[in-house]
Amino acid sequence: MKTICFYFQIHQPFRLKRYRFFDIGNDHYYYDDFQNEEIIRRIAEQCYLPANRTILEMIKTSGGKFKVAFSISGVALEQMEIYTPEVIDSFKELAATGNVEFLSETYAHSLSSLGDPDEFKHQIDKQEDKIKTLFGVKPKVFRNTELIYSDDISLMVAEKGYKGMITEGAKHILGWKSPNYMYSSSVAPRLSLLLKNDRFSEDLSSRFSDYSWNEYPLTADKYISWIASTPESEQIINLFMNYEVLGSLHPASTGIFEFFKALPRFAADKGISFSTPSEVFTLIKPVDSISVPDPISWVDEERDCSSWLGNILQQEAFRKINEIGARVRLCQTRRIRQDWYYLQSSDHFYYMSTKHMGSGGFSPYDNPYEAFINYMNVLSDFILRVKAEFPESIENEELNSLLSTIKNQGEEIESLQKELDKLKKKTVKK
């Protein structure tokens, strides 16, 4: 029997304010609060809240047969907590149904898997803690930022204890193979992989409201019939997309919510079920392994990482922020750690891309050069703050040793204080 695996990405970066060269060393607050609040409130109204209501209704009217998975970046969750706590509450309501799975990812929606393995693993831990705190569950399945994947990344994910990961079904990797099966990593055989079905995912994310599309308008009946007509042996249809497909990328006026509500009924008529990624990993075994020596993603025709690291501006910015990673991880100053996460979001590097010039997009800047200059000004100030706390004259290993000594001394003092308190109590009793 065929099953549909829905996965939605949810992420919002902390966008930077216009930060001039003369602000370096003088202004340590980097964010455009007005824009960040306006955007997440607007998207919450257009997408998150009505979409969550739609998903909840679909679960209830289908008798619990509809299931879905979300990956929500830690920085997006932070913004929801600040500006739209009602969205967090609506996700908690979905979590309570037992039909919704929350996946793990990098806390900052970062590119750390491509440049800083230690930071990558650290952010996975932080994301797990965030999901556990908010929704009471520990993620079982991993998805990387923008579905970025490679053999090297699969090794790190497997080392973190994950048995399953989702990524892009890139044609140049699959060749003649179909994405509608489960695969495994060629270098970490115990890590199973679910691959995005490009055609059926793009029908919803890109083509749904395209009047020029020869299949417009797309109905739930027609869509499910396409899925049902795939070869009988192809059991998994992975529909991976941005959650903003519901209500933002395709406004409510396009009928997108009504389309989704009708899916469970027509799927049931064709004997097609819905499953979460962890359920699929439990029930189905890989048919083959795939080798991905160079990183892939779900973005652009190339399905590579050139949208973030394809030019010298992006590469220089990425190099500079990775250089200070070891020192920042030793730092306990809350504001420095917080800024560190916010500055790592992949969006900042995407804004520097020269691939999308003149094609609109989601950049708050007029051009990639402006994005680069603004980011590097902010990063310069941030690096000064890190160096002020941990001078360059002290090597990382020496600094780590000193901090460990201070920590151990603190723990010893705390232990001695407890013993002293006990002795005082005994003295008072006598």
Q: What residues act catalytically? A: 146
Residues paired with residue 195 on neighbouring β-strands, in sequence order: 167
Determine contact, residues 67/275, Cβ cutoff 8 Å: yes
Instruction: Tell me how far apart the alpha carbons of residues 194 and 166 are, in angstroms, rounded to a whole number.
Output: 5
Determine contact, residues 300/153, Cβ cutoff 8 Å: no
400 CB burial (10 A radius; 0-12, 13-18, 19+): middle
Other Cβ atoms less than 10 A from the Cβ of 261: the count is 17
Determine contact, residues 40/80, Cβ cutoff 8 Å: yes
Instruction: Tell me how far apart the alpha carbons of residues 349 and 317 are, in angstroms, rounded to a whole number.
Output: 8
Determine contact, residues 109/13, Cβ cutoff 8 Å: yes
In a 13 Å sphere around the CA of 349, the CA atoms on its Cβ side amount to 29
Question: For the packed helices 117-135 and 151-159, what is the interaxial angle rounded to 10 degrees?
Answer: 50
